Amino acid sequence: MKLLVPVKRVLDYNVKPRVRADGTGVDLAGSKMSMNPFDEIAVEEAVRLRERGVATEIVVVSIGVQQCQETLRTALAMGADRAILVLTEAAPEPLAVAKLLRALVLREGPRLVVLGKQAIDDDMNATGQMLAGLLGWAQATFASRVEVAAEADGGTATVTREVDGGLETIAVALPAIVTVDLRLNEPRYASLPNIMKARKKPMETLSLGDLGVDVTPRLTTLRVSEPPVRKGGVTVGSVAELVSKLRSEARVI
Amino acid sequence: MTVLVLLDHADGQISPASRSAVTAAVQLGPVHALVAGAGPALDAAVQAAARIAGIEAVLRAEAAVHAAPLAEPLAALLASLAGEYDHLLAGATATAKNVMPRLAALLDVQPISEIVAVVDAETFVRPIYAGNALATVRSSDAKRVITVRAANFDPAADVATAAAIRDVATPDVAPLSRFVSAELSRSERPELASARVVVSGGRGMQNGENFRLLDPIADQLGAAIGASRAAVDAGYVPNDYQVGQTGKIVAPDLYVAVGISGAIQHLAGMKDSKIIVAINKDAEAPIFQVADYGLVADLFSALPELERELKTG
């Protein structure tokens, strides 16, 4: 069966975001960009599902600027088979992204969509759930373990999920959406031969118009600001002094 | 117009994060609460909900499909009720994060996740980039679907008079998912996300066995025990201990970081704590830049000493 794996190009997780002085957003100019770490885990899981014989083809898709091609090449080097770039200068909101992905799902016909639980830039944690809602598919979010039993026209994914206070296992009917959490797997590094091979894998570019989706934003960002800076306090000389200050000065114990 | 809040519950109790969502909801209008479930625990939860300050009516949805909080029937239930409400809120629990965006898609609305402040009926503040920036966003949608970060709103207390309770029906939806099992960590300690005191260990603890050194201190302080992602990734403790961007966001009165260097992603999960204490042998560790009280010391000598000092209170 075919898998669809959406990936997002985001500010590298090791780079500290700089808020623009005029409050219009975070300055990305000249910063290192990478694949959203949760999406890397999604690509890895898809490749493992193919290695286990569950998946037959992995299509990766990214929505954004031309440079998203680099993100897609990374996914191809990890083992995806072909890529689709939906080209747009604006950064669509999760609702619009989910609508674009729905259009691609209807075009490509995957039985499973695997994606990161959230992007580390807008931290919205919404796209997978919204795609499931739009398609009327089952969803299994925050996966830490995925087992897929595919059948000719159905099948089941048994997914262990990270929930408050522990783990929960659910079984979802295919077709389904799975969003992945950190502990699902450790993504592989692409080898040099695989990076070379990825250059020859097919990559298609589509415009928003090709998919016929209205991406008008519903949210207006009025301001982006630095969070209040927390000032360091005092260094205490001993455990006794620490406890005494917590009792008499901070009054928290 | 009236606000609907989805309440999370377990063992007949309403989750503290849901109570925080009620506090946020009261700023937007009169509040109705939805409690969905099955069996005797549902009634206890409905009764508890009716006594939460600010809730004017409780909608009780009893159906076998709600025995475990599955996204598909819960989102369908909320969507069927949405007509009467301008705002649909929930505390940002694992259940709400699963359900609310699906609901938003059913309503053709862009959800607003993990708000930390209500500016007005259409404007909210939410953290982005793991809390390294705060975005003030205005929604042009007709309805707003919102999750609330519990650490930023006090949990709503109980009142003496109970709100009215009425039953609501769950729409028929094809059963797409099925609950199989749960493995929840059982602990006598308070819940990490809502504890008044949190004691966390990091990679400096060196192994899982050494985390037991935190037990007597947590016992004396009535604290929950947490951990940094480094300690979780090293396998010292389970993932549900994790405090940080990818774990739980906490804001206790007192946060004690032991052997934690203070990576950005950890600070994102605890920097709203009222008082932060750091114990670390590396005086250059970034955790000291946010700590109110820093102690440069070897944790293996400092922890037993701390235990003794707390006893002589």
> Regarding predicted confidence, which is higher, B188 or A124?
A124
Could you give the CA distance from residue A4 to residue A46 in angstroms, rounded to a whole number? 9
pLDDT tens, residue by residue, A144-183? 999 999 887 789 999 999 998 889 999 999 999 999 998 8
Q: Token pair of B261, please?
A: 């260097």
Residue with tokens 């007597």: B216
* Structural domains in chain A, sorted by start: 2-248 (3.40.50.620)
- pLDDT score for A169: 98
- Cβ–Cβ gap A123/B130 under 8 Å: yes
- Cβ–Cβ gap B110/A94 under 8 Å: yes
Q: Token pair of A69, please?
A: 């091609």
Residue among A144, A236, A247 minimizing CB distance to B294: A236
pLDDT tens, residue by residue, B193-235? 888 999 999 999 999 999 999 999 999 999 999 999 999 989 9
* Structural domains in chain B, sorted by start: 3-167 (3.40.50.620), 192-311 (3.40.50.1220)
pLDDT tens, residue by residue, B16-42? 999 999 999 999 999 999 999 999 899
- pLDDT score for B5: 98
> What is the length of chain B?
313
| B75 Cβ under 8 Å from any chain A Cβ | yes
pLDDT tens, residue by residue, B227-282? 999 999 899 998 889 998 878 889 899 999 999 999 988 998 998 899 999 999 99
Could you give the CA distance from residue B4 to residue B84 in angstroms, rounded to a whole number? 9
- pLDDT score for A107: 97
| B251 Cβ under 8 Å from any chain A Cβ | no
Could you give the CA distance from residue B112 to residue A244 in angstroms, rounded to a whole number? 43
Q: Token pair of B42, please?
A: 């549902």
* Pairing relationship of beta strands B117-120 and B123-128 according to DSSP bridges: antiparallel
| B152 Cβ under 8 Å from any chain A Cβ | no
Q: What is the mean pLDDT of residues B107-123?
A: 98
Residue among B68, B128, B309 minimizing CB distance to A122: B128
* Residues of chain A scoring pLDDT < 70: none
Residue A132 DSSP symbol:
H
Q: What is the mean pLDDT of residues B95-116?
A: 98
Q: Token pair of B58, please?
A: 């409780």
- pLDDT score for A150: 82
- pLDDT score for A13: 85
Q: Token pair of B279, please?
A: 């114990």
Q: Token pair of A184, please?
A: 């699902």
pLDDT tens, residue by residue, A197-221? 999 999 999 999 999 999 999 999 9
Q: Give the B window 186-225 contacts with A, CB below 8 Å.
A: 191, 193, 197, 221
Compute CA distances A253 → A47, A115, B151, B252, B271, whole Å.
51, 44, 20, 12, 19
Q: Token pair of B309, please?
A: 């000092």
Q: Partners of B118 in the beta sheet? A: B124
Sheet holding B254-258, edge to edge: A234-236, B293-296, B275-280, B254-258, B197-201, B224-227
Burial of A68 (C-beta count, 10 Å sphere; 0-12/13-18/19+)? buried
- Cβ–Cβ gap B94/A94 under 8 Å: no
Could you give the CA distance from residue B17 to residue B25 in angstroms, rounded to a whole number? 12
Residue B142 in this model has a pLDDT that exceeds 70: yes
Could you give the CA distance from residue A71 to residue A80 in angstroms, rounded to a whole number? 12
**Residues A205/A87, Cβ–Cβ less than 8 Å:** yes
Could you give the CA distance from residue A29 to residue A36 in angstroms, rounded to a whole number? 18
Q: Is B105 helix (H, G, I), strand (E, B) or coil?
A: helix
Burial of B172 (C-beta count, 10 Å sphere; 0-12/13-18/19+)? exposed
Residue among A219, A238, A246 minimizing CB distance to B139: A219
* Pairing relationship of beta strands B9-10 and B177-184 according to DSSP bridges: unpaired
Give me the sign of the Cα torsion angle B80, B84, B87, B92.
negative
**Residues B226/B198, Cβ–Cβ less than 8 Å:** yes
Residue of A nearest to B237 (CA): A166
Work out the pLDDT band at B313, boundaries 50, 70, 90.
low
φ/ψ of B281, rounded to 5, equals -80, -15
Q: How many CA atoms lie within 13 A of B20 on its CB side?
A: 24
Name the average pLDDT for chain B.
95
